Amino acid sequence: MPRPGITAMIPCYNEADCVERAYREIRSELVSYDDVELLFIDDGSTDGTLEAIKGFAAEDPLVKYISFARNFGLEAAFSAGFKYASKPWTVQFDADLQSPPHEMHRLVQKVLEGYDVVFAVREDRRDPWYRRLGTRGHQMIASRWLGIELPLGASVFRIVRTSVARKVVDSRLSTPYFIATAPLLGARYTTLPTSHRPRVDGQGKWNLRKLFGHALELFVGFSFRPLVWLNGLAAAMVTAGIVILGLASAGRLGPAEVAAASLVTGLVTLTLLAVAARYLVRVMRVQAIGVPRYQIREANIPIRADEALYGHETPYAIADIWENAS
């Protein structure tokens, strides 16, 4: 079996309690390959996560880091990670180590069978019931009802051919949704069951609002069926409305029935409007494709000037910038 070059990518948002352990565990698994790096993406942490990462980097030449100017979200973080990963394969980890780093070897073995992506599927997922139900529910709706192809149960623990990952995150089909974009581009992918453990330190970053928004991104970003269905429903309502009007004017329906019918029609109209608005947001996002999804405040690797908040074509640290400015 060849020993491939691997970037271990670790997005971190306020993970001061976990990041040291993550560094040690991931590093100890990673060094069994010859050509490796650890790439931390600090997604605008405010709790000392970046300072910890800089501490590792000062001692360890394998550690690279990028730090965002604010919290831009996990999708932005892994998009930057795939862009700046320098090895042919990238394994994405979670800083809380819910997906155990030693499982990476099985992902590597699997991908070398001839895939571009292997997604880990958490066996016996150790997250709250509403998270498990939410993932299963929205992925089922997406794949069964909306015809969206995606690896069911895929988590963000995955190994990806870095060049393909860059295509996926660059394509920005109006919404960053990695697991639905990879199949759309023709990436060869499969899934692999891996073990999972509860978060021990720090806080999970997902609340119900974020989860709901994420599901809607998938539905609206990759399918027009909700709009088609609602238009069908609207047409049915118009027909029903005409019939009700006819019946009312013939004196066969009272004011209470007519009022109830108009309430239902009103509700359908509002739903249709809300869904149409989501699609409008989608169009606006496509138009905003030239706008960068994140800005980098500091890093210890060269960063494209348009993605660096201070515009330098560096490697740079914030201290250098202040020195140069004064």
Residues that bind ligand UDP (CB under 6 A): 11-13, 15, 43, 71, 73-74, 77, 94-96, 98, 204-206
Closer residue to ligand UDP in complex, CB, 38/77: 77
CA 199, CA 210: separation in Å to the nearest integer? 19
**Residue 98 touches Mg ion, criterion: CB under 5 A:** yes
Q: Which does 77 bind (CB under 5 to 8 A by kind): ligand UDP, Mg ion, none?
A: ligand UDP
Q: Where do runs of H (alpha helix) occur along 43-152?
A: 49-59, 74-84, 104-111, 129-140
- The C-alpha atoms of residue 256 and residue 320 are separated, in whole angstroms, by 74
**Is 72 or 93 the residue whose CB approaches Mg ion more closely?**
93
Residue with tokens 């809607």: 216
CA atoms within 13 A on the CB side of 278: 21
Does residue 38 contact residue 93 with C-beta atoms inside 8 Å? no
Alpha carbons 44 and 46: distance in angstroms, whole number: 7
State yes or no: residue 298 binds Mg ion (CB under 5 A).
no
Is the Cβ–Cβ distance between 62 and 27 less than 8 Å?
yes
Binding at 153: pick from ligand UDP, Mg ion, none (beta carbon under 5-8 Å per type):
none
Q: Name the 3-class secondary structure at 53.
A: helix
State in angstroms the smallest separation of the CB of 12 from ligand UDP. Answer: 5
Q: How far apart are CA 31 and CA 253, in angstroms?
A: 78
* Nearest CB to Mg ion, comparing residues 93 and 115: 93
> Which lies closer to ligand UDP via its Cβ, residue 43 or residue 116?
43
Closest distance to ligand UDP from the beta carbon of 158 (Å): 13
Q: Which is nearer to Mg ion, 179 or 272 (CB)?
A: 179
Would you count residue 96 as binding Mg ion (CB under 5 A)?
yes
The nearer residue to Mg ion, 29 or 94, going by C-beta atoms, is 94
- 12 interface partner picked from Mg ion, ligand UDP, none, CB below 5 to 8 A per type: ligand UDP
State residue 89 phi and psi, 5-degree precision.
-120, 145
Min. distance of Cβ 208 from ligand UDP in angstroms?
A: 12
How far, CA to CA in Å, does 40 sit from each of 51, 168, 182, 325? 12, 20, 23, 27
Q: How far is the CB of 96 from ligand UDP (least distance, A)?
A: 5
- Measured CA to CA, the distance from residue 136 to residue 131 in angstroms comes to 9
| Cβ-based nearer residue to ligand UDP, 37 or 96 | 96
What is the dihedral sign for C-alpha 182, 184, 185, 188? positive
Indicate which of Mg ion, ligand UDP, none lies near residue 13 (CB less than 5 to 8 Å, by partner kind). ligand UDP
- Cα 293–Cα 271–Cα 134 angle in degrees, nearest 5: 60
Q: Which does residue 302 touch among Mg ion, ligand UDP, none (CB within 5 to 8 A, set by kind)?
A: none
What is the nearest approach in angstroms of ligand UDP to the Cβ of residue 269?
Answer: 35
Which residues contact Mg ion by CB under 5 A? 94, 96, 98, 199
